[in-house]
Amino acid sequence: MDAFFAAIEQRDDPALRGRPVVVGALPGGRGVVATCSYEARAFGLHSAMPINEAHWLCPRAVYVRPRIAHYRGIARQIRTILGNYSPRVEPVSIDEAYLDVSGLEGLIGPPQVIGQRLKAEILAEVGLTASVGIGPNRLVAKLASDFQKPDGLTLVPPERMLGFLGDLPLGVLRGLGSKTLPKLQRLGLRRVADLRALSLEQIQVHLGTRAGISLYQQARGIASDQVGEGAVRQSLSKETTFPEDVSDPRLLQDTLGTLAEEVARSARSEGIAGARVTLKVRFQGFETHTRQQRLPQPSDDARTLLGVAWSLFEGGRLPKKPVRLIGLGISELGPPPPVQGDLFTRGPERGHDSTEDRRLNATLDRINQRFGAGAVRRGSGLRHNF
């Protein structure tokens, strides 16, 4: 999707159309740009840019806070459309997915026709533009989708793949960041074709064995063509950056409670549970600490996740300093454990993964899905006493 969050805001509010729009933190705070409209990108703004730097570059932009629940609802509409075209769809983020259209030529038409129809249906159904890349594997399709943004469609057949890749700047390849890219640029390498002229051994001398193999293969268009292979989620997490450093334990615990609810709700929506809980805490100067604990059994219950995370905060020997960022995540994901009801235990001693709790969580999820995340949440049951 093209500038997904910002495009939704412009669609929903006609007064924002044609204007620079930034979705993310508000100026004066600490956060970053989540995404911005193409009008804002003309001023040099981009995702992950510190919000105050963005405001300095473009003070006349409209700055809005993200409405994640609203964006997710629209993403579900789009994924439904994608699923009507191909049985093999792999979402990789809220606004991006791979489709395998092999064998659909006789049913729908050649890949370019499928791409055109997809774009037209998304525009008609949700009022947003999408950019489509078509190629023989995941790498080429992804790069082609970025090639003519916004509202683009780029087809790269196998016989044109090396020529298409060769003309692209080196920075488009995966694994080339702010530290590794300058190493190659100092060698006079600017385009993918320049990198392709080097042997595997030459690349590994400068970038190491693993990175060298990856870039050697990418430069030659060697990549997986399997859709669905990366669909298994490894972890799920949420975090919050405070406008000002926080020392109040009640505020920190309440924030962790909100994050636990968001993680648990997302886990339940995907039918997964986590066997390991991770707490992330950042202090001034980007000093970051993580603490982890494995659960007796996987859980998708917010109170269970919060209880573990808060015990890690209190007992994890963290610096006694104000907190800039706090986050909670789960990993070692798998299906939720079966519920075995206890005929004799009732109340708080029953635990948080009983049949009654599962039913209540399902009810809360339906309410929040209909009225927006955070419309209703558990009360004091999430809070520990001080």
- Is residue 315 in some structural domain? yes
Cβ pair 138, 224 in contact under 8 A: yes
Task: Please identify, among 45, 66, 87, the residue that sits at the C-terminal boundary of a domain.
Answer: 66
Distance CA 314, CA 291 (A): 11
Instruction: Kindly tell me if the per-residue pLDDT of 349 is higher than 80.
Output: no
pLDDT of residue 355: 56
- Is residue 88 in some structural domain? no
- Is residue 350 in some structural domain? yes
pLDDT of residue 249: 94
- Is residue 181 in some structural domain? no
Packing angle of the helix pair 68-85, 111-126 (nearest 10 deg): 140
> Any catalytic annotation for residue 261?
no
- Is residue 206 in some structural domain? no
- Is residue 364 in some structural domain? yes
* Average pLDDT over all residues of the chain: 87
Instruction: Say what percent of the chain tops pLDDT 70.
Output: 86
Distance CA 72, CA 313 (A): 31
Cβ-based neighbours of 53, under 8 Å, separated by 6 or more: none
User: What are 4-42's pLDDT values in tens digits?
Assistant: 999 999 999 999 999 999 999 999 887 889 999 999 999
Distance CA 136, CA 138 (A): 7
CATH number, residue 247? 3.30.1490.100
C-alpha triplet 263, 142, 197: angle, nearest 5°: 130
User: What are 239-292's pLDDT values in tens digits?
Assistant: 888 878 899 999 999 999 999 999 999 899 888 999 999 999 999 877 889 999
Number of structural domains the chain divides into: 2
Question: CA separation (Å) from 260 to 38, 91, 257, 327?
Answer: 34, 24, 5, 9
Q: Which of 39, 96, 244, 262 is labelled catalytic?
A: 96
Task: Please identify, among 17, 34, 66, the residue that sits at the C-terminal boundary of a domain.
Answer: 66
CATH number, residue 26? 3.40.1170.60
- Is residue 328 in some structural domain? yes
Task: Please identify, among 66, 81, 103, the residue that sits at the C-terminal boundary of a domain.
Answer: 66
Cβ-based neighbours of 159, under 8 Å, separated by 6 or more: none
Q: In the chain, which residue ranges form alpha helices assigned H by DSSP? A: 4-12, 38-41, 51-57, 68-85, 111-126, 138-147, 161-166, 180-185, 192-196, 200-207, 209-219, 249-270, 302-315, 355-371
Cα 137 to chain centroid, rounded = 22
Q: In 271-334, which residue ranges form alpha helices assigned H by DSSP? A: 302-315
Give buried/exposed letters for 64-84 (b at 16+ CB in 10 A, else e). bebbeeebeebbeebeebbee
- Is residue 198 in some structural domain? no
Domain of residue 309 covers: 235-371
Instruction: Kindly tell me if the per-residue pLDDT of 347 is higher than 60.
Output: no
